[in-house]
Structure 1
Amino acid sequence: MADVEGTIYSIALEEAQGVDNEQLRDAFPESVQLEAIVNGVNRLLQKGMLELLQVGNQVRYRAVRSDELARLAGLTTDEQLVYKHIQASKNEGIWVRTLKMKTNLLQGVITRALKTLEQKALIKSVKSVKHPTRKLYMLIDMTPSSEITGGPWYTDQELDTDFINQLAKQCYQFIYANSYPKHNPQAIYPASYTGFKTSSQIKRFISGHNITNVDLSDENIEELLTMLVYDGKIERIAAAFEMDAGKTSSSGKDFMYRALRITDKDSPFTDIPCGRCPVFDKCSDTGVITPGKCEYFKKWLSF
């Protein structure tokens, strides 16, 4: 029986998602009875060396590693149950009310279990920026997700508006510097121009110039750019094609960004389309671009 248990445990250790009954049966020669395999699985489950996993409609057996067994040693059944659910929550953490629902344990039992697990330095409590009044629990060595901490935009659970504004300002200045011809800043590039900066290029600029020590993800940069778009400082331009070593390929994932010309804040023209019109210099009483044909004016007047 010991040999059967050892084989089952070894096989399960090799599979992060556990093994099913068919895999276990195929791992043994026909001389080994199915009853012996079933008994071996049950004994390992009783010892806590295996745990059941539900993957879709299939039941699988996951091996509990020796270091994890050592952490669980001395815990009661209820404490182990609470620990397992906290472990399953990974870096998202789990709320006490959710623990109660999943374990069907009394509140007092859960409270004592959490206290014991914290005293043994197995778990920790963290606060969420989304739900400041809730205390979430996760394993002691887990780093909370950005959903909980708020990511780089929060410092000590508070939105760091100064940091956000400074970073957005640097992004805007970089985009503006690459939005208009340097030899004639009053001119504009043709519609076919593909040299405007993308979010990935803006990210490289931020990291390459050591503007911040905070590690910003692609999503963080997109959040900054979206804020600038809503503030009316930049606009997105679909990058239909990009050139790579002489080859043309579709690029629907990454937008290009162009800065909009912003006039003095106190000017009354900032409230009308003309104040930020990219073709203001080409507008006249006659021709293709006129106030009478302006789509921006029509939308602004009907707002």
Structure 2
Amino acid sequence: MSLSQKRKRPESNPASGLAESDQQVVLNFIKSKGEDATTKGNINKETKVPTQIVTKCIDNLLALSLIKKIPHAHFKGDYYIATEFKPSNAVSGGEWYLDGKLDTQFINELKNACLHIVKSLKVATAEGVHEVFEKRRLTNVECTSQQISEILGSMVLENLIIEVKSSGHGEYHSIPVGNVCYRCPVGNLKRGPDRGAMASIPCGVCPRIRECTPDGLISPTTCVYYTKWLDF
């Protein structure tokens, strides 16, 4: 058999001892996942590259800055994503998460600001509270009306405010009949209400509580913070 007929061996990377083909397979797979990222286990399962080799490939790709390791907001373990991609909200948790962890400081700052606005307006809609945020520039980060609605919803669960529907009379005269609005409980306008039982668990500060379902992407069974609270 001539040299030209012989099968060429995959070139190896002297620094890592890895076959270039394995490393490229791993990199291509990670890139194929785009903003959704992936895990070592998933790479091994889908590419059939042995786990030990996958680990070496990942270490080398990290060193070359071709991929990056990121936390997942809803699942344990490390996830990997190609450098050119930004994690999707499903992975990062969106604006309520920072480095894969619920940004409780930011959430509490928004809650305090919302509580102050609701107190001053007596009765307010989510849109009304959002307008005040925009006019006064209360945060360095731009907040949407939907985000404010989520914050107000979590405050209702904590008994910080109550959710009512406009009657169109008295304090509600400027709000269309039937529209959802918020106010502080009667008799607690100065000091604010006592926090309810929900405030003692992570659900009390989670603005995504209304999206949490047993079989959903956000659920008690996959929530790291709820699991830690149960263990505690």
TM over 0.5: yes
8 Å Cα contact 1:234-1:260 kept in structure 2:
yes
Q: Deviations over 1:231-284 (max 9, x none)?
A: 22323345799xxxxxxxx999x8433333343899xx979xxxxxxxxxxxxx
Higher relative contact order (CA closer than 8 Å, sequence separation 6+): 2
Query: Which residue is 1:228 aligned to?
Result: 155
- Partner letter of residue 230 of structure 1? L
Query: Which has the greater radius of gyration?
Result: 1
Q: Is the Cα–Cα contact under 8 Å of residues 229 and 235 in structure 1 kept in the other structure?
A: yes
Is contact 2:73-2:92 (8 Å) kept? yes
| Structure holding more strand per residue | 1
For 1:119, which of 63, 66, 75 is the aligned residue? 63
**How large is the RMSD of aligned CA atoms in angstroms?**
3.8
After TM superposition, give the deviation of residue 104 of structure 1 in Å. Answer: 2.0
- Any idea what SS the aligned residue of 2:163 has? strand
Q: CA–CA distance in 2 between the matches of 1:90 and 1:238?
A: 43
Whether contact under 8 Å (2:44, 2:50) holds in the other structure is yes
Letter matched to residue 145 of structure 1: S
Secondary structure of the structure 2 residue equivalent to 1:94: coil
1:94 matched to 2:21: no
Instruction: Report whether the alignment pairs 1:178 with 2:121.
Output: yes
Q: What secondary structure is seen at the aligned counterpart in 2 of 1:144?
A: coil
What CA distance in whole angstroms lies between the structure 2 residues aligned with 1:138 and 1:113? 13
Contact 2:159–2:194 under 8 Å retained in 1: no
Deviation of 1:170 after TM superposition, in Å, equals 1.2
Note if contact 2:164-2:182 (Cα within 8 Å) is conserved in structure 1. yes
SS in 2 for 1:257: strand
Q: Secondary structure at the match of 1:91?
A: helix
Q: What does residue range 11-160 of structure 1 map to in structure 2 within 5 Å?
A: 76-132=20-76, 134-155=77-98, 158-160=101-103
- The answer to whether 1:212 aligns with 2:155 is no
Q: Deviations over 1:57-115 (max 9, x none)?
A: xxxxxxxxxxxxxxxxxx94433332232123222211111111221221122223323
Gap regions ≥5 residues in structure 2: 1-18, 169-175, 196-232
- Native 8 Å contact 1:264 1:270 kept in 2: no
For 2:62, give the aligned amino acid: E
TM-score normalized by the length of structure 1? 0.46
Q: What secondary structure, in the 3-state scheme, does the structure 1 residue paired with 2:113 have?
A: helix
SS of equivalent residue, structure 2 residue 24: helix
Q: TM-score of the superposition, structure 2-length normalised?
A: 0.57
Give the counterpart letter for 1:208 in structure 2: K
Q: Where does structure 1 lack aligned partners over 5 or more consecutive residues?
A: 1-74, 181-195, 242-249, 272-303
